[in-house]
């Protein structure tokens, strides 16, 4: 009936447990990793199981009434924006259920009726909480009241909101603005983000790192200088109308499930889809649309016409080769490939690009990509035939040393055929957090442009600092050098999201004050500064109505620049929660004092006041309050898409030339990339399974090709310690289970954030400074049955024993 693979369960051996465990290991104690089961990876995504899982999780957390009220409002007009991902909603007819399994899980996580009260904090000393995983911490429920931990305290206790804001003000005013850092996670709504950056700049700092620094910063760094805008240039309709869509370095079945409907629609209309990935991800192969009858009973639709199983880091070589083949075809049949009119009128640098791509070293290209010349030529052929191509990408391209060059190479291939500003064509960096794109639009950026600062100064009568601030990587360095006195985190889980976990956690603990505006407990709360505050806030699904003018709504921007409203309806779990804009306003008012020119209170009372300010500061937001109330909201201007114009210095799009670069592991090593499981939202885990990849009840696993295992003299399911090497430095992460898996040769995969301790803080993408989360050179050291790590020499001997 269905082509879902049967799960074959093979028990694991129980050897290798240690009596004395390091903190990272103690943390795994509440997950029994020894119950790991590995089956065959699935070959299709979504379908009936997805619907069942979605309902089961939501009802389990929130009960049937809250489930119905919340799921019925996800992504509906007048409802709330799904906190899951930044994929857009359809602007036409909306289905009754405009959400996916993982969106429902994100909602379940938030609507839970479990409460983390001050009594709960009193019962749980920090020392105990440090041994817990983020899975355990978030399962405890929603935080109900503000809590504080003073130097010397061993646990958090209740504090009033007024005292909490006074405490923040006291710390901020006792130091200089450049020693204060304001981090933002991408769930933050537009209005909150705008106030937050205004607060930081009013104070005198651009230290505004955000999760985007660790995510799609490389995309912005590549797109801004080449096409004059740091965002994608397509709308949902373009995906439907495309003749060819390439999905590169992205796992939509898990991370953007609603995208599968768009890919299916494209194929239904005769378009082709090509997937480029080191892992044969289920959602890239087949899709069973849970919204249709066939989705329940059929075999599912084929998603990819071609699947290129590329080596991690091989994409720059791939796109250079594709450019070469397209130009070769143009020489053979002039006028058939290159959009001359577009290239001549709208771009610069074509001649240099053409010259650079004239020659190719196929041996090296095959080595860099792990692909054959024939496979690459097949895709070049599809590109050559397509008159409208969209290239989508996500983190598989953004978290490597040469990420920015790789994405610029994608731009080259798109420019060549004039794939901007015409239906069915364009660049599509698929964003992560549901409002990460909007936060940047609102000015959450450590490197603000002069026009933004000038506009803020004009509107509010402040003098914004001009010196650039810290991004997330620079913040990590600042913690390390004891240069942070106050760290405020608007959502997120910085300690787990960033690299070099051990050093970062140690640095955070030396900071004077850490402030976490959060919905649920997480690791960052327990590796806190000397003084620490946790300020609980309303989530997307919660009703926000304690205002003089009654109920308020917020707005977000999706991956395709659509701005629309979001409004929760559920009764908040506690009467003590404050909305995020209110928290930011009260913190700012306390820190900046009575005489500050910005009227924080007016904004917190009536969000229309914030939107009026935004409409005067940010281009594209004219008449914001009226347009955000329209049926589908509105789309922000996008010159490449709207008018084929490019707001670069030269007023033209730029071809660029980059040297060939790829990742190669030294003898005995592999290139490790980190991915999300099907049961997690970044650092929050919903469960321990990764259904589509066939992994059950375990997260400390490393997926390795069977032949690489054999070459390394290691075996499936063996317990190893992982050692990463970077510039002569080593990092260790202990007790991972090897799993034989059909990944590309020479590459391994592990889960984020378990593997973050392995990422050296200097392992970053050039220009964007994004951590190299998909470019970690590692080797494995087998643990002997006694539980100690053994060197390679001992491996074989230990193997003989078992």
Ligand X SMILES: Nc1nc2c(c(=O)[nH]1)N[C@H]1C(S)=C(S)[C@@H](COP(=O)(O)OP(=O)(O)OC[C@H]3O[C@@H](n4cnc5c(=O)[nH]c(N)nc54)[C@H](O)[C@@H]3O)O[C@H]1N2
Which residue ranges make up the site for ligand X (CB under 6 A)?
Answer: 84-85, 102, 138, 185-187, 211, 214-215, 248-251, 254-256, 276-279, 281, 310, 312-313, 315, 394-396, 432-433, 490-494, 497, 517-520, 522, 537, 539-540, 580, 673-676, 680-684, 752-753, 755-756, 773-774
Point out which span in 208-216, 230-238, 253-261, 593-601 binds Mo ion (CB under 5 A).
208-216
Calpha distance 229→446 (Å, rounded): 17
Q: By C-beta, is 353 or 752 nearer to ligand X?
A: 752
Taking the complex as a whole, how short is the minimal distance between the CB of residue 494 and ligand X, in angstroms? Answer: 5
User: Of Mo ion, ligand X, none, which one does residue 675 interact with (CB within 5 to 8 Å by kind)?
Assistant: ligand X
Calpha distance 584→175 (Å, rounded): 19
- Look up tokens 């997690």; give the residue: 680
Give the DSSP H or E segment for 562. Answer: strand 562-566
Q: By C-beta, is 498 or 635 nearer to ligand X?
A: 498
User: Of Mo ion, ligand X, none, which one does residue 394 interact with (CB within 5 to 8 Å by kind)?
Assistant: ligand X
Contacts of 441 (CB under 8 A, 6+ apart): 190, 557, 618, 636
User: Of Mo ion, ligand X, none, which one does residue 349 interact with (CB within 5 to 8 Å by kind)?
Assistant: none
Question: How far, rounded to the nearest angstrom, does the alpha carbon of residue 99 sit from its chain's CA centroid?
Answer: 18
Give the DSSP H or E segment for 63. Answer: helix 48-71
Taking the complex as a whole, how short is the minimal distance between the CB of residue 275 and ligand X, in angstroms? Answer: 9
- Look up tokens 């070099």; give the residue: 500
User: Of ligand X, Mo ion, none, which one does residue 673 interact with (CB within 5 to 8 Å by kind)?
Assistant: ligand X
Residue 674 sits at the vertex; the CA angle it makes with 101 and 738, to the nearest 5 degrees, is 100
Contacts of 292 (CB under 8 A, 6+ apart): none
Q: Strand pairing of 244-248 and 180-184?
A: unpaired
Q: By C-beta, is 315 or 446 nearer to ligand X?
A: 315
Q: By C-beta, is 250 or 615 nearer to Mo ion?
A: 250
Q: By C-beta, is 44 or 250 nearer to ligand X?
A: 250
For every residue of 22-49, DSSP letters joined together read -HHHHGGGGS-GGG-EE-PPPS-EESHH
Q: Looking at beta carbons, which residue is closest to Mo ion? A: 432
Q: Which ranges of 482-606 would DSSP assign to H, the alpha helix?
A: 494-497, 501-510, 523-526, 580-592, 600-605
Taking the complex as a whole, how short is the minimal distance between the CB of residue 664 and ligand X, in angstroms? Answer: 13
Calpha distance 555→137 (Å, rounded): 29
Q: By C-beta, is 216 or 654 nearer to ligand X?
A: 216
User: Of ligand X, Mo ion, none, which one does residue 168 interact with (CB within 5 to 8 Å by kind)?
Assistant: none
User: Of Mo ion, ligand X, none, which one does residue 756 interact with (CB within 5 to 8 Å by kind)?
Assistant: ligand X
Q: Are 591 and 168 in contact (CB under 8 A)?
A: yes
The two structure tokens encoding residue 348: 């610069």
Give the DSSP H or E segment for 634. Answer: strand 634-635
Taking the complex as a whole, how short is the minimal distance between the CB of residue 420 and ligand X, in angstroms? Answer: 22
Q: By C-beta, is 135 or 634 nearer to ligand X?
A: 135
The binder of Mo ion chosen from 85, 86, 148, 215 (CB under 5 A): 215
492 forms part of the interface with Mo ion (CB under 5 A): no
Taking the complex as a whole, how short is the minimal distance between the CB of residue 414 and ligand X, in angstroms? Answer: 16
Taking the complex as a whole, how short is the minimal distance between the CB of residue 431 and Mo ion, in angstroms? Answer: 7
Q: Are 660 and 735 in contact (CB under 8 A)?
A: no
User: Of ligand X, Mo ion, none, which one does residue 501 interact with (CB within 5 to 8 Å by kind)?
Assistant: none
Q: By C-beta, is 322 or 476 nearer to Mo ion?
A: 476
Q: By C-beta, is 493 or 635 nearer to ligand X?
A: 493
Taking the complex as a whole, how short is the minimal distance between the CB of residue 231 and Mo ion, in angstroms? Answer: 15
Report the candidate in 428, 437, 435 with the shortest Cα–Cα distance to residue 565: 435
162-170: long-range contacts (C-beta < 8 A, 24 or more apart)? 164/533, 164/535, 165/586, 165/587, 165/589, 165/590, 166/590, 167/513, 167/531, 167/533, 168/486, 168/488, 168/513, 168/515, 168/533, 168/587, 168/590, 168/591, 169/587, 169/590, 169/591
Taking the complex as a whole, how short is the minimal distance between the CB of residue 77 and Mo ion, in angstroms? Answer: 26
Taking the complex as a whole, how short is the minimal distance between the CB of residue 216 and Mo ion, in angstroms? Answer: 7
- Look up tokens 């291939």; give the residue: 413
Calpha distance 432→497 (Å, rounded): 13
Taking the complex as a whole, how short is the minimal distance between the CB of residue 588 and ligand X, in angstroms? Answer: 16
Q: By C-beta, is 390 or 795 nearer to ligand X?
A: 390
Taking the complex as a whole, how short is the minimal distance between the CB of residue 513 and ligand X, in angstroms? Answer: 17
Point out which span in 68-76, 145-153, 431-439, 659-667 binds Mo ion (CB under 5 A).
431-439
User: Of Mo ion, ligand X, none, which one does residue 102 interact with (CB within 5 to 8 Å by kind)?
Assistant: ligand X
* CB-CB neighbours of 506 under 10 Å: 13
User: Of ligand X, Mo ion, none, which one does residue 537 interact with (CB within 5 to 8 Å by kind)?
Assistant: ligand X
The two structure tokens encoding residue 362: 């196929």
Span 282-311, contacts to Mo ion by CB under 5 A: none
Taking the complex as a whole, how short is the minimal distance between the CB of residue 187 and ligand X, in angstroms? Answer: 5
Report the candidate in 595, 633, 529 with the shortest Cα–Cα distance to residue 180: 529
Taking the complex as a whole, how short is the minimal distance between the CB of residue 1 and ligand X, in angstroms? Answer: 27
Q: By C-beta, is 202 or 437 nearer to Mo ion?
A: 437
Calpha distance 801→799 (Å, rounded): 5
Q: By C-beta, is 85 or 578 nearer to Mo ion?
A: 85
Taking the complex as a whole, how short is the minimal distance between the CB of residue 674 and ligand X, in angstroms? Answer: 4
Q: Kindly state the number of chain residues that form the binding site for Mo ion, as judged by CB under 5 A.
A: 2
The two structure tokens encoding residue 104: 């429902």
User: Of ligand X, Mo ion, none, which one does residue 406 interact with (CB within 5 to 8 Å by kind)?
Assistant: none
Q: By C-beta, is 31 or 391 nearer to ligand X?
A: 391
Distance separating the N- and C-terminal Cα atoms of the chain = 41
Q: Is 799 helix (H, G, I), strand (E, B) or coil?
A: helix
Q: Looking at beta carbons, which residue is closest to ligand X? A: 432
User: Of ligand X, Mo ion, none, which one does residue 570 interact with (CB within 5 to 8 Å by kind)?
Assistant: none
Calpha distance 256→251 (Å, rounded): 7
Report the candidate in 644, 692, 735 with the shortest Cα–Cα distance to residue 347: 644
Calpha distance 672→665 (Å, rounded): 10
User: Of ligand X, Mo ion, none, which one does residue 495 interact with (CB within 5 to 8 Å by kind)?
Assistant: none
The binder of Mo ion chosen from 300, 396, 401, 432 (CB under 5 A): 432
User: Of ligand X, Mo ion, none, which one does residue 254 interact with (CB within 5 to 8 Å by kind)?
Assistant: ligand X
Give the DSSP H or E segment for 381. Answer: helix 373-385
Q: By C-beta, is 249 or 418 nearer to Mo ion?
A: 249
Q: By C-beta, is 252 or 432 nearer to Mo ion?
A: 432
Point out which span in 243-251, 429-437, 508-516, 618-626 binds Mo ion (CB under 5 A).
429-437
Taking the complex as a whole, how short is the minimal distance between the CB of residue 67 and Mo ion, in angstroms? Answer: 27
Q: Are 311 and 343 in contact (CB under 8 A)?
A: no
Q: By C-beta, is 494 or 780 nearer to Mo ion?
A: 494
Contacts with Mo ion, residue ranges (CB under 5 A): 215, 432
């Amino acid at each position: 009936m269905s082509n879902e693979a049967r799960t074959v369960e093979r028990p694991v051996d129980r050897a290798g447990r240690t009596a004395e465990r390091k903190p990272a290991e103690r943390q795994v104690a509440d997950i029994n990793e020894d119950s790991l089961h590995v089956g065959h990876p699935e070959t299709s995504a979504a379908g009936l199981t997805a619907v069942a899982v979605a309902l089961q999780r939501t009802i389990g957390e929130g009960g049937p009434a809250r489930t119905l009220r919340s799921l019925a409002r996800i992504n509906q007009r007048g409802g709330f924006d799904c906190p899951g991902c930044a994929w857009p909603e359809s602007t036409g007819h909306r289905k009754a259920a405009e959400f996916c399994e993982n969106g429902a899980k994100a909602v379940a996580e938030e609507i839970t009726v479990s409460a983390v009260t001050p009594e709960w904090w009193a019962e749980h000393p920090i020392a105990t909480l440090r041994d817990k995983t983020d899975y355990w911490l978030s399962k405890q429920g929603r935080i109900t009241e503000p809590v504080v931990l003073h130097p010397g305290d061993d646990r958090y206790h209740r504090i009033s909101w007024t005292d909490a804001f006074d405490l923040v003000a006291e710390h901020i005013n006792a130091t200089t603005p450049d020693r204060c850092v304001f981090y933002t996670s991408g769930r933050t709504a537009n209005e909150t983000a705008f106030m937050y950056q205004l607060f930081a700049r009013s104070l005198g700092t651009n230290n505004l790192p955000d999760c985007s620094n660790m995510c799609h910063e490389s995309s912005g760094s590549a797109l801004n200088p080449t096409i004059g805008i740091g965002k994608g240039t397509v709308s949902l309709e373009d995906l439907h109308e495309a003749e060819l869509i390439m999905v590169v370095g992205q796992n939509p079945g898990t991370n953007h499930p609603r995208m599968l409907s768009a890919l299916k629609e494209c194929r239904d209309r005769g378009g082709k889809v090509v997937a480029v990935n080191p892992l044969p991800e289920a959602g890239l192969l087949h899709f069973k649309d849970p919204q249709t009858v066939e989705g329940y009973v059929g075999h599912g639709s084929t998603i990819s016409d071609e699947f290129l199983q590329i080596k991690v880091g091989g994409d720059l070589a791939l796109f250079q080769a594709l450019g070469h083949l397209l130009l070769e075809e143009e020489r053979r049949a002039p006028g058939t490939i290159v959009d001359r009119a577009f290239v001549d009128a709208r771009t610069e640098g074509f001649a240099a690009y053409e010259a650079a791509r004239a020659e190719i070293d196929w041996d090296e290209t095959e080595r860099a990509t792990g692909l054959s010349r024939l496979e690459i030529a097949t895709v070049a052929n599809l590109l050559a035939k397509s008159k409208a191509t969209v290239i989508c990408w996500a983190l598989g391209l953004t978290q490597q040393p040469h990420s920015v060059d790789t994405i610029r190479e994608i731009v080259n291939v798109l420019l060549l055929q004039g794939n901007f500003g015409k239906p069915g064509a364009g660049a599509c960096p698929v964003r992560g957090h549901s409002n990460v794109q909007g936060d940047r639009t609102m000015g959450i950026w450590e490197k603000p442009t002069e026009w933004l600062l000038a506009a803020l100064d004009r509107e509010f009568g402040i003098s914004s600092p001009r010196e650039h601030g810290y991004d997330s990587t620079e913040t990590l360095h600042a913690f390390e050098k004891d240069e942070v006195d106050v760290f405020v985190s608007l959502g997120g889980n910085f300690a787990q999201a960033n690299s070099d976990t051990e050093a970062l956690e140690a640095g955070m603990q030396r900071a004077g004050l850490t402030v976490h505006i959060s919905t649920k407990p997480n690791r960052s709360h327990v590796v806190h500064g000397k003084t620490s505050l946790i300020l609980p806030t309303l989530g997307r699904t919660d009703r926000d109505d304690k205002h003089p003018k009654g109920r308020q709504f917020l707005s977000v921007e999706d991956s395709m620049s659509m701005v629309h409203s979001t409004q929760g309806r559920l009764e908040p779990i506690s009467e003590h929660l404050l909305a995020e804009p209110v928290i930011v306003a009260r913190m700012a008012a306390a820190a900046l004092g009575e005489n500050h020119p910005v009227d924080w209170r007016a904004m917190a009372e009536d969000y229309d006041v914030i939107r009026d300010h935004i409409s005067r500061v940010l281009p594209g937001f004219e008449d914001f309050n009226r347009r955000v109330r329209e049926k589908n909201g509105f789309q922000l201007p996008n010159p490449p898409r709207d008018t084929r114009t490019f707001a670069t210095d030269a007023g033209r799009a730029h071809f660029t030339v980059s040297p060939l670069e790829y990742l190669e592991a030294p003898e005995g090593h592999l290139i490790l990339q980190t991915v999300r499981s099907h049961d997690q939202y970044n650092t929050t885990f919903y469960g321990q399974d990764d259904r589509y990849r066939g992994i059950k009840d375990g997260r400390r696993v490393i997926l390795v090709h069977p032949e690489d295992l054999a070459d390394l003299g290691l075996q499936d399911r063996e317990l190893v310690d992982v050692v990463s090497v970077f510039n002569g430095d080593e990092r260790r992460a202990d007790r991972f289970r090897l799993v034989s898996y059909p990944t590309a040769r020479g590459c391994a995969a592990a889960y984020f954030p378990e593997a973050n301790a392995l990422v050296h803080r200097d392992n970053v993408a050039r220009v964007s400074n994004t951590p190299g989360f998909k470019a970690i050179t590692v080797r494995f050291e087998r643990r002997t049955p006694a539980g100690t790590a053994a060197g390679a020499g001992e491996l074989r001997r230990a193997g003989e024993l078992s």
